[in-house]
Amino acid sequence: MDFSYTKEQEVLKNVVREFCDKEVAPRAAEFDRTAEFDYSIIEKLSKQGLLGVIMPKEYGGMGGSHVDQAIICEEIGRDSLTAMVATNMAWYMAYECLVVGTEENKKRWIRYLFDGKKMGAHAGTEADAGTDAASVRTWAKLEGDEWVINGTKWFVSNLGKADFYFITLRTADSRYGGISTILVEKDTPGMTIGRRVDLISNRAISNGELIFENCRVPRENLIGRLNKGFLDMMVLYDVIRLYLAIGAVGIARGALEESLKFAQERRQFGKPVGEFQMIRAMLADMATEIDAARLMTYRALDMEEKGLRHTKETSMAKLYASEIADRVTYKAVQIHGGYGLTMEFPVQRYWRDARLCSIGEGTSEIQRLIIAAELLKSQNIVLDSALD
Ligand SMILES: Cc1cc2nc3c(=O)[nH]c(=O)nc-3n(C[C@H](O)[C@H](O)[C@H](O)COP(=O)(O)OP(=O)(O)OC[C@H]3O[C@@H](n4cnc5c(N)ncnc54)[C@H](O)[C@@H]3O)c2cc1C
């Protein structure tokens, strides 16, 4: 067991920090205010070899470890959740193809999906299918050599900005056994961008409705196994959720660093507020929870690296990291007093952005259900799943 970064990881962390100090931090407030992200940042990140380092070299990645990838995610998340989400959207779909794709998918799509310029999006959620992801009603029916898609997706991040969309939809009349993923490229006739939603969290990622009306795509756009999309999604979530967890750690760390600065600068009763014990207690709790969340996330990433099953450890890390991000950012606002509620200090943005982490990619309630089910299973107690 080794709790320190390698020399290469230290270098990686410094390089990403330098990049973020120059390209992300100075513009994070502007992205939030205008609700528009500048995607040229992703291309710059890619040129520095910092995009999708987890992808194998044969597919244009660095063949790095999950901890390498997490270091990048945390640094970007420290400055802007939106930048982190956008960055991930530029390699997630290629990673999905790598993990659950067929050999044909890999040959046909990975290089195309992961070129440092194209952005992806994942459309699973529908108005009536949120947590209950298996109740999707968007259908794809095979007609000759084409899939014909009908239905409406909702809460799609990167809406209108993505070059391709991975759509989780129904391909057979079975609840869990009738779900598949189909790739639809932008500007495909029959797919239209609907209403954009105005968010308070992760504001700069365009998000909203994606509509399919007799949208036709070639048969080979099926990603992964036909009708096994739900199972594939669960396998992927065991890893993908960890990148949201480490993003939450990044947000919390940003809130702590800003609070440490403020606590030394702001004076009341003739001394810096950081000299008051109650402020110090908050800072100590914040730092302790951030450390614990990072270690839990690294443990699950390490298990993935070693090929071990880590569904419980992923859910624990995702649950804990997103909930401490909420607590830590709340305290950061508290330490800033009234200034914490002004747009002049970034802690209010961290506070708002942290909220997404315990809702997106499986809510805290769902993580608790998964953890409990795994615990009971390990005692050979199998109860009806609350998710059925
Ligand atoms: C900013 C943002 C970006 C998003 N991006 C994407 C995206 O790119 N692609 C995509 O597909 N989706 C995306 N989503 C959707 C997101 O995944 C869902 O919001 C999330 O899964 C929760 O679904 P819901 O909002 O419908 O809540 P609901 O499922 O309606 O849940 C409401 C409440 O009920 C609880 N609940 C539900 N079922 C149970 C149960 N069995 N036991 C206990 N409690 C339960 C939930 O935990 C929650 O507290 C995004 C959402 C947001 C806000």
Tell me the mean pLDDT in the region 175-181. 97
Q: Rounded to 5 degrees, what angle do the CA atoms 240, 241, 243 make? A: 70
Per-residue pLDDT reduced to its tens digit, 329-361: 999 999 999 999 999 999 999 999 999 999 999
The dihedral built from the CA positions of residue 242, 220, 159 and 116, taken in this order, carries a sign that is positive
Amino acid at 298: Y
CATH of region 230-378, choose from 3.40.50.1000, 3.30.300.30, 1.10.3720.10, 1.20.140.10? 1.20.140.10
Read off φ and ψ for residue 153, nearest 5 degrees.
-100, 155
CA end-to-end distance (rounded Å), the chain = 38
φ, ψ (nearest 5 deg) of residue 198 = -95, 115
Active site residues: 361
Q: Rounded CA gap, 319 and 119, in Å?
A: 28
157 lines ligand 1 (CB under 6 A): yes
Q: Name the pLDDT band for 276 (thresholds 50, 70, 90).
A: very high
pLDDT mean over 22-44: 97
3-state secondary structure of 75: helix
Question: Would you say the CB of residue 385 lies under 6 angstroms from ligand 1?
Answer: no
Looking at residue 2, its pLDDT comes to: 86
CB 200 within 8 A of CB 81: no
Q: What percent of the chain has pLDDT over 90?
A: 96
Closest-lying ligand 1 atom to the alpha carbon of residue 153: 11
Q: Whose CA is nearest to atom 43 of ligand 1?
A: 365
Distance (Å, whole) CA 320 – CA 254: 17
Work out the mean pLDDT of the chain and round it to a whole number: 96
* CATH architecture classification, 120-227: Beta Barrel (2.40)
Q: Is the pLDDT of residue 64 over 70?
A: yes
Average pLDDT over residues 110-121: 95
Question: pLDDT digit string (tens) for 366-387?
Answer: 999 999 999 998 877 665 555 5
Which residue would you say has higher pLDDT here, 130 or 387? 130
Its pTM stands at 0.96
Per-residue pLDDT, averaged over 168-180, amounts to 97
Q: Residue 51: its pLDDT value, please?
A: 94
- Mind listing the pLDDT tens digit for each residue in 294-329? 999 999 999 999 999 999 999 999 999 999 999 999
pLDDT for 387: 53
Main-chain dihedrals φ then ψ at residue 113, nearest 5 degrees? -75, -30
* Atom 26 of ligand 1, nearest CA residue: 130
What share of the chain in percent tops pLDDT 70?
Answer: 98
For the chain, which residues make up each domain, given as ranges?
A: 7-113, 120-227, 230-378
Distance 129 CA to ligand 1 centre (A): 8
* Per-residue pLDDT tens digits for 191-210: 999 999 999 999 999 999 99
The stretch 116-132 carries a mean pLDDT of 96
Is the confidence at residue 237, as pLDDT, over 80?
A: yes
Q: What's the 225 CA to ligand 1 centre distance in angstroms?
A: 25
Atom 4, ligand 1: residue with shortest CA distance? 155
Mean pLDDT, to the nearest integer, of 29-49? 96
Task: Give the pLDDT confidence score for residue 137 in this predicted structure.
Answer: 97
* Mean pLDDT calculated for residue range 75-94: 97
Sign of CA dihedral 1, 68, 359, 307: negative
Nearest residue (by CA) to ligand 1, atom 30, is: 130
The H-assigned helical ranges of the chain are 7-19, 28-34, 40-47, 66-79, 81-89, 92-100, 103-113, 229-265, 277-305, 311-335, 347-357, 364-378
Pocket test for ligand 1, best of 37, 81, 125, 184 (most atoms within 8 A of CB): 125
Class of domain 7-113: mainly alpha
